[in-house]
Amino acid sequence: MDDLSLLSASKTPVPHSPEEAQLETFENSHPDREYTITFDCPEFTSLCPITGQPDFGKITIDYIADKKCIESKSLKIYLFSYRNHGAFHEEVTNLILDDLVKACSPKWARVTGNFLPRGGIAIHVVAEHGKR
């Protein structure tokens, strides 16, 4: 647990981009059991890469851990870093999945982006890794 620097920090600045953010992990105490971990981020924001206007949505992450689990405070800070990041909803959802897989190599993972309507159209993006 000594390598969980963000969790033990009393003040943590939000990175300017997802590339600067750090997803921290800890050992899965039950790697022999397949159980699903779910994170909900109902106040997700990113920026439209064309207009620079904010996009609002909900990000849900479901995964089955292998040897490592994602530490929730580092995930929160990582997701906050998208507030300054311009990308389309499809890219955002897939980037989150790629970074999650890179950080903890889960047996299976799904990232769902439910973005609020802009111009009368809501966008829902689901990206998966591995087999459930």
Domain chopping of the chain, boundaries: 22-130
Residue 31: CB atoms within 10 Å:
13
Q: Which residues contact 52 (CB under 8 A, 6 or more apart)?
A: 86
What CA–CA distance (Å, rounded) separates 81 from 51?
18
Say if CB 110 and CB 128 are below 8 A apart. Answer: yes
The residue with tokens 């990113």 is: 46
Specify the pTM: 0.89
Which residues are known to be catalytic?
48, 55
For domain 22-130, the question of CATH label 1.10.287.3510 is answered with no
Query: Is the sign of the CA dihedral 118, 16, 49, 126 positive or negative?
Result: negative
For the stretch 21-80, pLDDT in tens is 999 999 999 999 999 999 999 999 999 999 999 999 999 999 999 999 999 999 999 999
